[in-house]
Structure 1
Amino acid sequence: MRKKLLLSLLSIFVISSLFISCKDGETLPSSSNNVEVSKTYSYPFTGLETTEDPSNNTPFMAVVENSKQARPQSGLSFADIVYETSAEGGIPRFIAVYHSKMSEKIGPIRSIRPYFLTISKEYTLPIAHCGGSKEALNEVKNDTALMSLNEMSNGKYYYRDNSRKAPHNLYTSSDKILKAISDKQYNLSTKTPLKFNKDYFNNDNFKTSDNITVTPNKVYETTYKYKDGVYTKYMDGEVAKDAVTDKDLTFSNVIVQKTDITLQTDNSHLNIDLVKDGEGYLFSQGKVIEIKWSKDSEFSSTKLYDLENNEIFLSPGNTIWNIVDSDSKITF
């Protein structure tokens, strides 16, 4: 009897020791692993994955000058999408879409045109600019849906860089424009028409191209050279740089959209028809496909299709979108 009692006490001691060891920091084996998985999102204008909720970022657009006196521009490498098309005299101008990244300096900011407004309507975004053509400013005045951040009436959100001469020295920043949007209490319901798929260009039937030259007119030419997964932009024979980073301007996707560009009756300002159907090219991952595009109305999205009328995908990353006349020279 005493032997049985001794064995029982010994068993209790062993079990108690194991329990105390666990309390001192050792863990018992678990039947399940409670591993917390971070939620992932995609930025709507680049398709790049992120662990941060993109809805916390406020998107906007900015009109950026591209005359030779404006180069190098500031902040274009931080834009998700950069549109490029012509203004008076064939001089190009950029319309940049900002969302996933912030830039401490954006510009030089220049004036708006009606076809820039058409692009802003496509995304329903505020647009930073300084003045504009009479036609464009009348449209801003009469259309309350347009979110114009005109420097001429919103000067506190812009500044002059005295290291450059006017009118090539007007700048802003992401912080300043976001403050303007907050102050004006704009209600944004952003549209995101682009689609992304990193595997879309893994297609041996697509043609290859690593050197693209777009010549919109007699006064300007831009080239894109593909290397290491991105296209480096050149303007008039010189590599394009961002003055903020002092690095080359590169893009994951290059779109060329061909349309009708005509002179207005003043023989100066342009009409660029963006509400119609047309043709073009998409370059990505060193490959090229011929595309068709379609836009039904001022506020509708521009849809991109292959020649079999299937919607196409962009590679995740930033995009340069060239809008040129149908007769422009494009080589690749």
Structure 2
Amino acid sequence: MRETLPVRSESFSPVSASARIRRIIAVCALGAVMLTGCAEHGDAGPSAAPTENATEPAPQAAAPLTGMPADLEVLGRPSLAAKIGNDVEARPQRGLDRADLVFEELVEGGLTRYVAFWQSQIPEELGPLRSIRPMDPDIISPFGGIVAYSGGQQIFLDQMENTPVKNFIHGQPNADPFMYRSKDKPAPHNVILRAEKLIKDQQGLSAPPTQFEHAETAEGASALQGGTPVATIHATFSASRQQSWAWDANQGVFLRSQQGKPDPDTDGKTRSATNVIALRVNIDNRYQGVPKTVLIGSGTGHVATGGQVIPVTWSKTEATAPITLTTEAGEPILLAPGNAWVELVPLISGAEVRLE
């Protein structure tokens, strides 16, 4: 059923871009001014011979969400968060193969949903969009940028809209040009976002700050520097959501399964991750049957990269602060450059993280 909500004015203050990105853009701007000055005031003598600098590629730095090399277009654009369904009827979901970060969270009935983020790659379309939950403002706020979802209870809508993130909600006028219901899946598993179109329309928003720290190379990742070998990470949320990540040395990634079966993307390939982050989290049950993952605080977990795993401590000081990962000795955790999935596994009966 289409969730129609009253139109409300939006207020948000995007998170500022990192100093690193500002420096790169400033350098490029200064270079352009200098080149223009030379063209206007150069002498009438013979043109100088081309130099090697004339063919140098555009400056690059690490993308804030993946640590991968990125050009200025990527570095300057906002992140796009979306609430994505994980019901059987919602699979295979569109666009998850191009997400920089995916958080998996417990919802009602022992099921899970995703909060996914795109910034370095923007798919033409993604979905299906589902409704917001009480923990989502704490997950999404540190990124700024945009969030898209299908609706939700009024209390959760109010919480999400009271964040430094621009909201696009199915059924509201500002979202109508960017969302539609597909015919390949039944409602409510068929709200699709025209992601590429939305990002092009919102270029005035700031880029996200770095969330997790990345090593410059995969070999520098903390799990490879100080971890132990791991074949499979099992992340069990409930009897009906038993997820796992198996290391594939040939591909150099972890491959995802749900309930013991490969979890395919729309092209039939099994979903994969360079980094798998499994965190144990408390659950707040104040919302009458809607579990809230508690993220303001601290806890323990594991980070897996390159076929190795390392125990970690996680912490988050406030809604707009990123999750910080450290070793047991208090050193910052470095991920390998690439995508990451974050399993927010609840500290409840029947849920566990198990390593093989």
Q: Deviations over 1:3-45 (max 9, x none)?
A: xxxxxxxxxxxxxxxxxxxxxxxxxxx9x97354333322111
2:245 aligns to what? 224
How far, CA to CA, are the matches of 1:46 and 1:272 in structure 2?
A: 24
What SS does the aligned partner of 2:244 have?
Answer: strand
What SS does the aligned partner of 2:202 have?
Answer: helix
Asked if 1:250 corresponds to 2:259, the answer is: no
CA contact (8 A) 1:261 1:324 kept: no
Residue 209 to residue 132, structure 1, CA distance change in 2 (3 Å) = same
How far, CA to CA, are the matches of 2:256 and 2:143 in structure 1?
A: 25
Asked if 1:109 corresponds to 2:129, the answer is: yes
2:153 aligns to what? 133
Kindly state the Cα deviation for residue 230 of structure 1 after the two structures are TM-superposed: 0.3
What RMSD over aligned residues (CA atoms) do the two structures have, in Å? 2.1
Q: Could you tell me which amino acid in structure 2 is paired with residue 118 of structure 1?
A: D
**Unaligned ranges ≥5, structure 1:** 1-29
Q: Which has the larger radius of gyration?
A: 1
Asked if 1:263 corresponds to 2:285, the answer is: yes
Kindly state the Cα deviation for residue 259 of structure 1 after the two structures are TM-superposed: 1.1
How far, CA to CA, are the matches of 1:265 and 1:83 in structure 2?
A: 21
1:145 aligns to what? 164
Residue 144 to residue 122, structure 1, CA distance change in 2 (3 Å) = closer
1:330 aligns to what? 353
- Higher-RCO chain (CA-CA 8 Å, sequence separation at least 6): 2
2:209 aligns to what? 191
Identity %: 24
Residue 155 to residue 324, structure 1, CA distance change in 2 (3 Å) = same
2:305 aligns to what? 284
How far, CA to CA, are the matches of 1:180 and 1:51 in structure 2?
A: 20
| Equivalent position to 1:50, from 63, 67, 70 | 70
1:308 aligns to what? 329
CA contact (8 A) 2:79 2:143 kept: no
What SS does the aligned partner of 1:274 have?
Answer: coil
Residue 218 to residue 97, structure 1, CA distance change in 2 (3 Å) = same
Asked if 1:238 corresponds to 2:261, the answer is: yes
Q: Deviations over 1:107-141 (max 9, x none)?
A: 11000012111111121231100101232112245
Asked if 1:85 corresponds to 2:108, the answer is: no
CA contact (8 A) 1:274 1:295 kept: yes
| Equivalent position to 2:84, from 64, 79, 83 | 64
Kindly state the Cα deviation for residue 55 of structure 1 after the two structures are TM-superposed: 2.5
Q: Deviations over 1:133-191 (max 9, x none)?
A: 232112245x2634211112122210111121100111113223215535xx6x43522
Equivalent pairs, count: 296
Q: Could you tell me which amino acid in structure 2 is paired with residue 314 of structure 1?
A: L
Q: Could you tell me which amino acid in structure 1 is paired with residue 244 of structure 2?
A: T
What SS does the aligned partner of 1:304 have?
Answer: strand
What SS does the aligned partner of 2:116 have?
Answer: strand
Q: Could you tell me which amino acid in structure 1 is paired with residue 254 of structure 2?
A: Y
How far, CA to CA, are the matches of 1:128 and 1:173 in structure 2?
A: 10
Residue 129 to residue 180, structure 1, CA distance change in 2 (3 Å) = farther
Residue 144 to residue 94, structure 1, CA distance change in 2 (3 Å) = closer
How far, CA to CA, are the matches of 1:134 and 1:70 in structure 2?
A: 24
CA contact (8 A) 2:80 2:147 kept: yes
CA contact (8 A) 1:251 1:320 kept: yes
What SS does the aligned partner of 1:264 have?
Answer: strand
CA contact (8 A) 2:226 2:310 kept: no
Give the TM-score of the pair, scaled to structure 2: 0.78
Q: Could you tell me which amino acid in structure 2 is paired with residue 137 of structure 1?
A: L
CA contact (8 A) 1:252 1:318 kept: yes
Q: Could you tell me which amino acid in structure 2 is paired with residue 221 of structure 1?
A: Q
Q: Could you tell me which amino acid in structure 2 is paired with residue 194 of structure 1?
A: F
How far, CA to CA, are the matches of 1:146 and 1:51 in structure 2?
A: 24
How far, CA to CA, are the matches of 1:86 and 1:130 in structure 2?
A: 18
Asked if 1:200 corresponds to 2:220, the answer is: yes
2:199 aligns to what? 178
What SS does the aligned partner of 1:258 have?
Answer: strand
2:232 aligns to what? 211
CA contact (8 A) 1:113 1:135 kept: no
How far, CA to CA, are the matches of 1:247 and 1:161 in structure 2?
A: 22
| Equivalent position to 1:37, from 56, 80, 90 | 56
**Unaligned ranges ≥5, structure 2:** 1-48
